[in-house]
Amino acid sequence: MRVVIAAAGTGGHINPGIAIANKIMEKEPDSKILFIGTDRGLENDLVPRAGYELKHIDAYGINRKINFDNLKRLYKTIKSVGQAKKILEEFKPDVMFGTGGYICVSVGKAAQKLNIPIVLHESNAYPGVAIKILSKKAKKVLLGFEDAKQRLPKAKDVIVTGTPSKITETRITKQDVIRIKNDLKITNDLPLVLFFGGSQGARSINEALIGIISNNLNNNYQIVWAVGKGNFDDVKNELKEKNINIDNIKNTKILPYIYNMQEVMEVSNLIVSRSGAMTITEISTLGKPAIFIPFPFATENHQEYNARVLEKVGAAKIILDKDLTYIKLDNMIKELISDKQNLAEMGNKAKMVAKNNVADNIYEEIKKAIK
């Protein structure tokens, strides 16, 4: 199988593409896979690290403002269709797989010109512009959430597969729980609440947590907080101004980044986070109750739509970013952790949203599209 994968910009687009590339290579080791991205995004780190070749085109996201810079970007993006077409002609793929974002439009339009079958995957509950544009001509459109289906009325063959993730259903042992908590220097005495805002952190969540910590509000729960690599020093200095040592806070462990995220999620009683599609996938896979604070500037407000998927089944609560205060967040945490049975029920309801054998199912749909 020869596959071109269009994925650029953020981990939310790139990681599902890598997961499917890995599955294809597992099933058909003689396959050839080529990623197409830009020279600006996270793909330049993640794709080579995963062992795949990456080619660049000069495509851009276009906002609705009419100005010189935007017109220049539009011109370059239109030209990038030709760049993509040349790459496709040289590589001769059996199929083009796109995970959304502006790169998808350029590569998808080039694939259409060459009659190459297109398979799209949309992780979010509210499909992005690229998926909407290409879905009419795509052989198959694969979705992370059932809720996205109704928003793609012109797509021909739509299948809800879920979103591929590194997080698995593998359960940890009691010995693992002890080891993980010892590594984090936390105890078994209090409920553990995990906070994160994506790989770069989230400023509003960080500010709310500083309020909780500096007012000593978390006496009846423990905090593990992934603050984001770029935010760690700022948070450290902000706490220092309040005479708080970041390495010695009662019931609190603050980290720049969590590398063993699945393990930490599994020992947590409650998760507080943004609501990107990958986060929703991971939380539902592990069956964890959550409080979501959707990123308010996400395209098409898709993070709120994602969060509503779990809220609708009773697995999560939502605080909109504009309404977030440390007092409101602390009160909601205390209300949830005070009822262990309700927390367990929320976790079980989260599992209802999870899909099984996601990568395998996507692989099979790609094979069907080629046939």
Q: Is the pLDDT of residue 200 over 60?
A: no
> Which two three-digit tokens encode residue 96?
């083009």
Name residue 300's amino acid.
E
CB 81 within 8 A of CB 61: no
**pLDDT-based confidence at residue 199 (cuts at 50, 70, 90):** low
The values of phi and psi at residue 98, to 5°, are: -120, 140
Q: Among 16, 38, 18, which residue's Cα sits nearest to residue 87?
A: 38
Q: pLDDT for 104-117, tens place per residue?
A: 999 999 999 999 99
Q: pLDDT for 279-308, tens place per residue?
A: 999 999 999 999 999 999 888 899 999 999
Question: What is the pLDDT at residue 214?
Answer: 95
CB 73 within 8 A of CB 62: yes
Q: pLDDT for 253-277, tens place per residue?
A: 999 989 899 999 999 999 999 999 9
Average pLDDT over the chain, rounded to an integer? 93
Question: What is the pLDDT at residue 67?
Answer: 76
Q: Is the pLDDT of residue 244 over 60?
A: yes
**Helix 68-91 to helix 102-113 angle, to the nearest 10 degrees?**
50
More confident call, 78 vs 4: 4
Q: Is the pLDDT of residue 21 over 60?
A: yes
> Which two three-digit tokens encode residue 367?
């094979």
Q: What is the pTM of this model?
A: 0.88
Q: Which structural domains are found in the chain, ordered by start?
A: 2-162+356-370 (3.40.50.2000), 174-351 (3.40.50.2000)
